[in-house]
Structure 1
Amino acid sequence: MNNVGLLYVGAVLLVNGLMLLGRVPPRSAGALNLFVGALQCLTPTVLIVQAGGDADAILAASGLYLFGFTYLYVGVANLAGLEPEGVGWFSLFVAGCAVVYAGLSFWRNGDPVFGVIWLAWALLWTLFFLVLGLGRQELTRFTGWAVVLLSQPTCTVPAFLAMTGAYRSNTGTGLLAAAVAAALIGLAALLASRSRDTSPATARAAATA
């Protein structure tokens, strides 16, 4: 069930990245954030209830709330016209937790691919903190491109692989995932440098994650 949620996280991240790039109006993106946020809160709740006290199952489900709360927060903020600083500072908390989950994936779960994915998410949520929490508007376009480019490789692709039984995680695939992530981040920086700057007003309105 968590892979079903991950599939739709790929969709909302893509839309939110386009929102930062000025391609999707914030209010238009708000509804999808609410839908996916609700799904990402319902899913871990069901998984925890069904876990029967299994600590490992509860730990695996716990991280989903980070994203569920993010998207609900973004959806409400966009539709209500709230200032984005709250989303930004919450994103700093998410980024810190993502680093912990990355460490668990590497050294506790033996899943280096998802360790890389968690680190990629930590980077994205750190960027959300810088842009939305601290008002670093010069990073807006880089953040938007990074979200667009990383949304599918870190969410949609592993979700489909897991649901079809094709997901593999070992040292080799982990290194490949790290190389792909690094290349996409470099591409995001290149695309941002070639794009015109987003206006401060637009960037502040685009509360995303």
Structure 2
Amino acid sequence: MSSLALVFVGAVLLANGLVFLGPMSARAAVPVNLLVGALIVTTSLLGAVPAGLDDRMALFGALGFCVFGFTYLSVATSTLLNADGSGVGWYCGWAAVMSAVLAVVNFSEGDPRLAWLWVSWIALFAAFFLAAFTGSDRFGRAAGAVSVIQSVTTGTIPGLLMINGSWADFSVVVIAVVQVLGILGYLAVLVMPARVREGSVRTGS
């Protein structure tokens, strides 16, 4: 995925995370989902067509873009149509599987830094899937927390490091540890007693 795309992925993950957590309404997040989703899908398809069917990694890269782009478009469309969210939920389940595929591809092709981002995104899409189908406040808040965390750890910071030219020199071990900690953060919110989660929201912590 390109550096600019990752920066904007971070922006939308932050917005959608805040929707789950409560400070932002679903309708307020529609514009950023539509704009970034359309931009990412259009850019990925325009890049994939000239590459042709012989450039396997270019096509996998376009697939990665589209996984995110269609997520954002689906979220925005579902909100505008007042849909129940089950379609987005099933899509996120599929996206979690695609994230696992892309993690394996990047590990096997010698790009462990990007592969670790895809490992994180497996957890992200799985969290969205569980939130959609359980309808549970516990799963919803955990999904919001991991989305906000990953907006920084898998989107904004990696994108800026790529733009700066320092991503390729950044320690793979540090990247891996940060991604594992992000996933553990999701699990911590998931198992946190309800009274603690509610108290944190009321105090703004």
Equivalent residues of 1:17, 1:143 under 8 A apart: yes
CA positional deviation for 1:143: 1.3
Q: State the 1:11 CA deviation.
A: 0.1
Displacement after TM superposition at 1:168 (Å): 1.8
Please report the RMSD computed on the Cα atoms of aligned residues, expressed in angstroms: 2.0
Q: Which has the higher contact order (CA 8 A, sep 6+)?
A: 1
CA distance in 2, matches of 1:151, 1:2: 15
Equivalent residues of 2:120, 2:183 under 8 A apart:
no
Gaps of 5+ in 1: 198-209
Aligned residue runs from structure 1 range 1-209, under 5 A: 2-53=2-53, 54-107=55-108, 109-168=109-168, 173-190=171-188, 193=192, 194-196=196-198
- Alpha-carbon contact 1:95-1:126 (below 8 Å) kept: yes
Q: Structure 2: which amino acid aligns with 1:71?
A: Y
Q: C-alpha separation between the residues in 2 aligned to 1:155 and 1:62?
A: 17
Alpha carbons 2:33, 2:76 under 8 Å: kept: yes
Q: 1:136-158: per-residue Cα shift (whole Å, max 9, x none)? A: 44211111111101111101111
AA at the equivalent of 2:64: G
Following superposition, the deviation at residue 65 of structure 1 comes to 0.8
Identity %: 35
**Contact 1:86 1:133 (8 Å CA) reproduced:** no
Decide whether the 8 Å contact of 2:120 with 2:180 is kept in 1.
Answer: no
- Paired letter, 1:81: N
CA distance 1:43–1:2, shift in 2 (3 Å): farther
Task: Give the TM-score, by structure 2 length.
Answer: 0.87
1:154-188 Cα deviation digits (max 9, x unpaired): 01111111122111268xx2221121122233344
Aligned residue pairs: how many?
194
Residue 110 of structure 1: how far off its partner (Å):
0.7
The one-letter amino acid of 2:163's match is M
Greater alpha carbon shift after TM alignment, 52-61 vs 28-37? 52-61
Take 2:162 and 2:188, find their aligned partners in 1: how far apart are those partners? 31
